[in-house]
């Protein structure tokens, strides 16, 4: 009997030790919910794999949760159910909502708490500044960032006798007016189209001309900000585009990118303004003509144009996990910022490398000699130190505001409103949204 | 559980089973009640609570604000416009799909050679999801790559542009939404038509009634229960399920011309993360649909003849 008991005790003890050993050896899982699918999703998986292979304490698990809206909603629902992932990829327009959510662990703080002394000056400032608070502390880690540029059809340009455009010095809007006029005259159905009109023609237009989009430094310095897009310069720009519509120098192809892109591919338009991350898509889709990339046009009075602003998404760290988990999160953040990872990311997806070191290395390697398209965006983004009104936009209910701007612009394009009326209404309606948003956090 | 007693009613010879237990019936309907409460009432109550709150998406700051969300809604001219758009849209969808469905059903009800094949083919579009229907119609009607759009522009010189013009966009989503519902209506109409005794129509024909008169005075009244049911279902469909069509084709544009209520709820709530505002919109939508259905049952149903 005694022997049996003893054996039992030994067995139990042994299994406990074994189990404990298992627990000790089990790496900590870090969940990352993202919105990258297809080719980009594979790149993300490879970056995760590189991290998991490099150490044995943590395992990062990346999960595709749908597009940006769906990913953010999944994050919101998970946080409410206390099942939040460690990392969530959220798009740039959701920055204010995430920042004020009270659900996040600011990245600058995480890195400091975990003992990483990161030289934030070594990052592309116009990218970081979009995700900083008013004190200049980084709230989320920029992940995929792009900026709008101008694509043009080389063949149609040649046919119309238009010289090719410079890759650094932007053309002026007046010059583009002449260019598109020539295009139309040469028989092209339309001159120019633009994707994401609010982002390219209002948000970026304002930044590059150093005009405030909203008061309180574009919302960085207070929730009580108001939209200022009904200023004479922006209204004049909209009026100019409307004027161009009369003779086909500009035409409307839809709010997002699919419509305008289709027009460019069908050679119905010679000039197409869209995100730099469209390069890969165009390379795949364009078969029957040559195209090139140039910086966004600026007004002739703007001698030294400001930086353009970014679009894309960043990684937010959720509160509510164990201290030891965050050690892994910080290590993974560090890994993503590594030079080789950034170079790989940039080469594969076309999104910017976020560190200057990676950019310099790419230049040294002669990458931009082979791929001159890619550098147009970086140069435009970094051509000047960002000012208070060109560093980014920090607005509550920004998604609604973009919708409002899109709607009001459409009402200009279809002759329902004058540019001044539409911009006044856009500002008025957006301000109502801003006031609603402000009330939540009072 | 009590025993079962059987007895035979001597006059009508109907066999009846009576369960003496009082709890058994409740137990039997319990699963249904649990499902209804969890999946219908609980979310509805949550929505109701959310609609009187002002809260951030993460639920960290919530304040009770009475009916402020509703006041904001109804003082917003664009919301009132959206209600108008929705009513126009759903009436149009119902009219187009019911009249076409009825027309096709009447035709298919005649003695055709390949009756079964024709009917099966006509039912197919119903299996297409609204979002797919939207994409299909977009391939026909999109101004830059739609086959039909390009054809009518080139050959007839029609200035068709749903990306820019609200009325064109509205026409486009009505067509795409009504199209797949035609099949649904067709199924019910054909069943209804088959239930109408041939003898009635033949008798009328002998009396010299024209085909149209026979249709109007015999078929339509006898078909009225089906017609009523189909109308209710079509209205509900056009209020809610057409979301996919709008999402694929116009995203509520241009200039908000096709921003129907259910799409606005999605945009403000799901995309824009305005919880209180979109919950209030859902409540309005729910009230509206209850009102429409009640109205139909109370007034329209009285005119419906159920007996053959």
Predicted ipTM?
0.82
A383 lies in some domain: no
pLDDT at position B1 over 70: no
Contact A80 B163 (CB under 8 A): no
In a domain, A325, yes or no: yes
Neighboring chain B residues of A414 at a CB cutoff of 8 Å? 164-166, 254-255
DSSP secondary structure, B157-225, as one string: -----TTT-HHHHHHHHHHHHHHHHHHHHHHHHHHHHHTS-HHHHHHHHHTT--HHHHIIIIIHHHHHH
- As given in the structure block, the two tokens for residue B82 are 């959206």
Averaged pLDDT for residues A207-232:
96
Q: Which span out of A1-10, A201-210, B52-61, B213-222 was modeled with the highest average pLDDT?
A: A201-210
Local structure of residue A103 (DSSP, 8 states): -
Q: Are residues B264 and B148 in the same domain?
A: yes
pLDDT for residue B10 is more than 80: no
A55-65 pLDDT, tens digit each:
999 999 999 99
On whether residue B48 sits in a domain, the answer given is no
Residues A271 and A342 in one domain: no
Confidence of residue B182 (pLDDT cuts 50, 70, 90): very high
Looking at the fold, whether B28 and B106 belong to one and the same domain comes out as: no
Best B73, B164, B269 residue to mutate vs chain A (most A CBs within 10 Å): B164
**Which DSSP category does A442 fall into?**
-
CB nearest to A69's CB, from B59, B61, B271: B271
Residue B287: name the closest of B93, B73, B130, B91 by CA.
B73
> What is the rounded distance in angstroms from the CA atom of residue B71 to the CA atom of residue B92?
29
Say whether A441 and B61 touch across the interface (CB within 8 A). Answer: yes
In a domain, B231, yes or no: yes
Give the pLDDT of residue A19.
60
Considering CB atoms only, which of A76, A406, A414 is closest to B164? A414
B173 and B82 both lie in a single domain: yes
Across all residues in chain A, what is the average pLDDT?
92
Contact in structure between B279 and B269 (CB atoms under 8 Å): yes
For A66, the 3-state DSSP assignment is coil
Is residue B126 domain-shared with residue B180, that is, in the same domain?
Answer: yes
**Residue at B110 is within a domain:** yes
B74-84 residue pLDDT tens: 998 889 999 99
Measure in Å the smallest separation between the Cα of A262 and chain B Cα atoms.
7
CATH number of the domain residue A328 falls in = 3.40.190.10
* Arithmetic mean of pLDDT, A250-259: 90
Mean pLDDT of chain B: 87
- Label residues A118-147 b or e (16+ Cβ within 10 Å = b): beeeebbbbbbbbbbeeeeebbbbbbbbbb
Phi/psi for A115 (5° steps) reads 85, 15
Report chain B residues whose CB lies below 8 A from the CB of A254. 163
A226 shares its domain with A367: no
Domain tally, chain A = 2
Residue B24 shares a structural domain with residue B78? no
| B209 and B284 both lie in a single domain | yes
DSSP element (H, E) containing A315: strand A311-317
- A-B Cβ pairs (cutoff 8 Å, strict): 87
A267 lies within 8 A of chain B by CB: no
> Mapping DSSP to helix (H, G, I), strand (E, B) and coil, where does residue A214 land?
strand
Testing the interface with A: which of B146, B160, B272 to mutate, by most A Cβ within 10 A? Answer: B272
Taking CA–CA distances from B145, the nearest residue in chain A reads A262
Picking from A251, A199, A131, the residue whose alpha carbon sits closest to that of residue A399 is A199
Residues A406 and A272 in one domain: yes
CA distance B29 to chain A (A): 31
Q: Give the domain-ending residue among A350, A377, A404.
A: A377
How does pLDDT run across B238-263, given as a tens digit for each residue?
Answer: 998 999 999 999 999 899 999 999 99
Residue numbers of the domain that contains B21: 4-37
CB-CB: which of B58, B142, B144 is closest to A76? B58
Distance from CA of A273 to the nearest CA of B (A): 17
List the 365-404 stretch of A: residues with Cβ below 8 A of B: 397, 399-400, 403
**Mean pLDDT over residues B175-185, rounded?**
93
| Same structural domain, B20 and B129 | no
B268 neighbourhood in chain A, CB within 8 Å: 400
B141 inside domain: yes
Report yes or no: B56 at the A interface, CB cutoff 8 Å. yes
The answer to whether residues A304 and A323 belong to one domain is: no
Determine the residue of chain B that is closest to A435 in CA distance.
B72
- Give chain B's domain count: 2
Rounded to an integer, the average pLDDT of A329-346 is 94
- Judge: A103–B58 Cβ closer than 8 Å, yes or no: yes
Q: Are residues B118 and B15 in the same domain?
A: no
A238 and A140 fall within a common domain: no
A195 with A142, same domain: the answer is no
């Amino acid at each position: 009997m005694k022997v049996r008991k003893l054996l039992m005790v030994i067995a139990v003890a042994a299994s406990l030790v074994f189990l404990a050993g298992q627990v000790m050896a089990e790496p900590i899982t870090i969940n990352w919910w993202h919105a990258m699918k297809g080719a980009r999703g594979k790149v993300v998986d490879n970056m995760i794999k590189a991290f998991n292979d490099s150490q044995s304490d943590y395992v990062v698990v990346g999960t595709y949760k749908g597009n940006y809206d769906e990913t953010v909603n999944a994050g919101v629902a998970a946080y409410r159910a206390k099942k939040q992932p460690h990392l969530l990829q959220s798009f740039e327009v959701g920055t204010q909502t995430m920042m004020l959510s009270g659900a996040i662990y600011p990245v600058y703080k995480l890195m400091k708490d975990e003992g990483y002394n990161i030289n934030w000056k070594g990052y592309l400032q116009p990218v970081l500044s979009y995700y900083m608070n008013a004190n200049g502390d980084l709230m989320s880690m920029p992940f995929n960032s792009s900026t709008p540029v101008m694509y043009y059809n080389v063949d149609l340009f040649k046919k119309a006798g238009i010289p090719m455009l410079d890759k650094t010095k932007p053309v002026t809007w007046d010059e583009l007016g002449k260019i598109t006029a020539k295009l139309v005259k040469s028989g092209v159905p339309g001159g120019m189209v633009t994707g994401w009109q609010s982002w390219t023609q209002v948000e970026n237009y304002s930044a590059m001309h150093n005009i405030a989009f909203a008061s309180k430094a574009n919302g960085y310095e207070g929730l009580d900000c108001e939209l200022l897009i009904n200023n004479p310069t922006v209204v004049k720009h909209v009026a100019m585009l409307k004027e161009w519509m009369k003779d086909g120098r500009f035409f409307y192809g839809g709010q997002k990118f699919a419509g305008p892109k289709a027009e460019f591919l069908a050679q119905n338009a010679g000039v197409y303004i869209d995100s730099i991350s469209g390069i890969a898509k165009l390379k795949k889709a364009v078969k029957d003509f040559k195209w090139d990339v140039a910086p966004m046009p600026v007004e002739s009075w703007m001698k030294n144009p400001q930086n353009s602003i970014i679009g894309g998404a960043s990684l937010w760290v959720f509160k509510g996990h164990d201290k030891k988990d965050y050690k892994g999160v910080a290590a993974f953040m560090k890994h993503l910022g590594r030079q080789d990872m950034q170079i790989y990311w940039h080469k594969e997806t076309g999104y910017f490398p976020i560190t200057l070191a990676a950019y310099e290395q790419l230049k040294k390697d002669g990458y931009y000699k082979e791929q001159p398209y890619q550098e147009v965006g970086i140069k435009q983004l970094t051509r000047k130190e960002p000012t208070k009104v060109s560093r980014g936009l920090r607005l509550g209910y920004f998604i609604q505001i973009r919708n409002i701007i899109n709607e009001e612009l459409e009402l200009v394009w279809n002759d329902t409103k004058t540019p001044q009326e539409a911009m006044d209404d856009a500002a008025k309606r957006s301000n109502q949204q801003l006031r609603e948003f402000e009330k939540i956090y009072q | 559980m009590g025993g079962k007693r059987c007895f035979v009613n001597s006059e009508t010879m109907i066999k009846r089973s009576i369960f003496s237990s009082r709890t058994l019936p409740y137990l039997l309907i319990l699963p249904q009640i649990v499902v209804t409460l969890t999946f219908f009432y609980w979310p509805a109550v949550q929505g109701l609570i959310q609609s009187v709150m002002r809260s951030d998406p993460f639920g960290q700051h919530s304040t009770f604000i009475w009916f402020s969300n509703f006041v904001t809604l109804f003082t917003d001219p664009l919301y009132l416009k959206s209600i108008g758009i929705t009513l126009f849209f759903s009436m149009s969808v119902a009219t187009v799909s019911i009249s076409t469905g009825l027309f096709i059903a009447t035709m298919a009800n005649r003695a055709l050679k390949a009756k079964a094949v024709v009917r099966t083919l006509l039912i197919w579009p119903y299996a297409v999801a609204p979002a797919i229907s939207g994409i299909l119609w977009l391939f026909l009607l999109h101004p830059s790559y739609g086959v039909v759009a390009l054809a009518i522009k080139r050959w007839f010189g029609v200035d068709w542009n749903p990306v820019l013009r609200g009325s064109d966009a509205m026409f486009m989503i009505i067509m795409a939404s009504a199209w797949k519902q035609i099949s649904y209506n067709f199924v019910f109409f054909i069943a209804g038509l088959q239930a109408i005794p041939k003898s009635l129509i033949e008798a009328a024909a002998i009396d010299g009634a024209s085909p149209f008169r026979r249709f109007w005075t015999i078929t339509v009244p006898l078909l009225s229960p089906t017609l009523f049911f189909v109308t209710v279902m079509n209205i509900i469909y056009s209020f809610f399920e057409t979301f996919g069509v709008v999402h694929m084709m116009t995203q509520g544009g241009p200039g908000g011309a096709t921003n129907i209520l259910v799409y606005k709820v999605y945009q403000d709530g799901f995309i824009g993360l305005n919880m209180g505002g979109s919950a209030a919109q859902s409540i309005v939508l729910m009230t509206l649909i209850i009102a429409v259905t009640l109205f139909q049952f109370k007034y329209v149903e009285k005119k419906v003849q159920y007996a053959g």
